[in-house]
């Protein structure tokens, strides 16, 4: 095998394979790739680029976004700008790698998860675990704001991750990975479900709500009579707190297709003489109404099953303290059932410093477009700038970041 990609580079390729934008199959597992006898000095940048051309942009590399390569030892490392080499230091479990063909392999999902444990924050690492064990994949090049691929098969399971980390305990990151694996919840259908699950599963000392264990997208069967009246046989709440009848449903940013209504309304106003635009507006309104009715019927079915399922909106997560307020209601509902004592979770919820830090964590994990986090950061920086005016320090802000322009006196 000529080149073995690992760590962050392997993750980018893995996401692209899941999205179907590059060729590859996770079924093509292989043992530790053998190093070709090609002299390392012959691997020029041009040759590396040519070898990885079949992977397209996800395998492009610069000094700021290097190509992560796993090599046999120090003597086989490739010395070219933008390439970062790590050395193999032990015997890997069987099937630790994925053969992509073209004499190229990547670390498999389990190995990648372990490798990234030592460089990712605990919350981000837990999010990654839920993605790999879930039915969605983030964008390979822009995981925060890029296109999400939905409705795909998981590439691994909690059991496989745990078995791998235990067997490969000598790998740096294996110990941290085992801690994270205990909190992973399988079957997330979207990044926002995974985000909510991460916040619920994280312990309080890592700014989570410590309401684990939970289940994602559990199917709740309706009884025969209710199924006949509802014309559906089951309902699937996004989150259920295990051993309780309490759950959550996330309503996405444009769940009721309001943007579509706005667009069609503008077009109808621009073309009053064309009845097709008016018909399109009526169709958009009907679609939104249909979504609302479907949600109401879903909520009634869940209530008929004795479940208390709270709706979560993007605003609950973006507004300072918004998700804390919702979790306070969840705790009330769970404790009302008398099955769990959540007094410790209540105390952490009331801790102001914890609440502020937790909100910062939530903002840091959400898509960054026009987030409240950016506005809050700018407000903090503005206060600092106001206090430093007397020192004649000039700054400029670009996309929410502060950059020193000149420092004339201090």
pLDDT tens digit string along 374-394? 445 544 544 554 554 444 444
Which pLDDT belongs to residue 389?
45
**pLDDT average, residue stretch 237-251:** 96
Phi, psi values for residue 107, rounded to 5°? -60, 140
Give the pLDDT score at 153.
Answer: 97
Query: What would the mean pLDDT of 87-97 be, rounded to a whole number?
Result: 89
Percent of the residues in the chain that have a pLDDT greater than 70, as a whole number = 86
Tell me the pLDDT tens digit for each residue of 262-288: 777 777 778 887 888 778 777 777 777
Residue 60 has pLDDT above 60, yes or no: yes
Q: Is residue 362 predicted with pLDDT exceeding 90?
A: yes
Question: What distance in Å separates the CA atoms of residue 204 and residue 356, rounded to the nearest whole number?
Answer: 13
The rounded distance, in Å, linking the Cα atoms of 53 and 61 is: 12
Q: E strands, 36-122, where?
A: 67-71, 83-87, 97-101, 104-107
- Provide the CB-side half-sphere exposure for 387 (13 A, CA): 6
171-180, 256-265, 291-300, 365-374: least confidently modelled range: 365-374
CA 261, chain centre distance (Å) = 29
pLDDT of residue 35: 66
Do residues 261 and 281 touch, judged by C-beta distance below 8 A? Answer: yes
Q: Residue 75 — pLDDT band, cuts 50, 70, 90?
A: confident
Q: How confident is the model at residue 73, as a pLDDT?
A: 86
pLDDT at residue 20 greater than cutoff 90: yes
pTM exceeding 0.75: yes
Contacts 24+ apart (CB under 8 A), 292-299: 292/256, 295/251, 295/255, 297/230, 298/235, 298/249
Q: Please, what is the Cα angle at 70 between 163 and 33, to 5 degrees?
A: 70
pLDDT at 195: 97
Give me the residue label for tokens 């004649």: 392
Q: What is the pLDDT of residue 377?
A: 52
CB count within 10 Å of CB 153 equals: 8
Q: What is the mean pLDDT of residues 319-333?
A: 97
Mean pLDDT, range 100-129, rounded to an integer: 96
What CA–CA distance (Å, rounded) separates 331 from 198? 17
Secondary structure class of 311 (helix, strand, coil): strand
Q: Which two tokens stand for residue 274?
A: 């064309």
């Amino acid at each position: 095998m000529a080149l073995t990609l690992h760590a962050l580079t392997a993750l980018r390729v893995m996401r692209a394979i899941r999205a179907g934008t590059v060729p590859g199959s996770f079924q093509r597992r292989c043992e530790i790739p053998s190093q070709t006898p090609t002299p390392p000095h012959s691997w020029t940048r041009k040759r590396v680029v040519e070898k990885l051309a079949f992977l397209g942009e996800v395998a492009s590399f610069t000094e700021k976004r290097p190509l992560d390569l796993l090599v046999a030892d120090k003597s086989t490392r490739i010395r070219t700008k933008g390439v970062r080499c790590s050395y193999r230091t032990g015997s890997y479990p069987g099937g630790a790698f994925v053969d992509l063909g073209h004499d190229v392999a990547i670390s498999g999902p389990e190995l990648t998860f372990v490798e990234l444990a030592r460089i990712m924050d605990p919350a981000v690492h837990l999010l990654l675990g839920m993605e790999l064990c879930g039915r969605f994949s983030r964008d390979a090049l822009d995981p925060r704001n890029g296109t999400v691929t939905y409705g795909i098969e998981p590439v691994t399971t909690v059991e496989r991750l745990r078995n791998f980390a235990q067997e490969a305990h000598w790998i740096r990151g294996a110990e941290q990975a085992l801690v994270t694996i205990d909190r992973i919840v399988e079957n997330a259908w979207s990044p926002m479900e995974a985000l909510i699950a991460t916040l619920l599963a994280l312990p309080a000392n890592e700014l989570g709500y410590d309401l684990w264990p939970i289940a994602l997208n559990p199917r709740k069967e309706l009884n025969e009579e209710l199924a006949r009246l509802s014309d559906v046989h089951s309902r699937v709440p996004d989150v259920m707190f295990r051993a309780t009848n309490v759950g959550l449903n996330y309503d996405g940013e444009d769940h009721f297709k309001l943007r579509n209504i706005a667009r069609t309304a503008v077009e109808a106003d621009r073309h009053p003489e064309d009845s097709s635009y008016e018909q399109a507006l009526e169709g958009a309104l009907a679609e939104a109404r249909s979504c609302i009715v479907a949600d109401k019927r879903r909520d009634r079915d869940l209530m008929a099953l004795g479940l208390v399922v709270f709706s979560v909106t993007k605003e609950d997560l973006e507004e300072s303290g918004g998700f804390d307020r919702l979790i306070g209601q969840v705790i009330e509902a769970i404790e009302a059932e008398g099955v769990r004592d959540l007094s410790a979770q209540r105390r952490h919820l009331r801790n102001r410093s914890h609440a502020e830090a937790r909100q910062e964590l939530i903002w840091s994990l959400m898509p960054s477009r026009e987030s409240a986090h950016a506005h809050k950061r700018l407000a903090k920086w503005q206060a600092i700038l106001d206090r430093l005016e007397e020192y004649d320090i000039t700054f400029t802000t670009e996309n929410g970041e502060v950059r020193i322009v000149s420092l004339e006196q201090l």
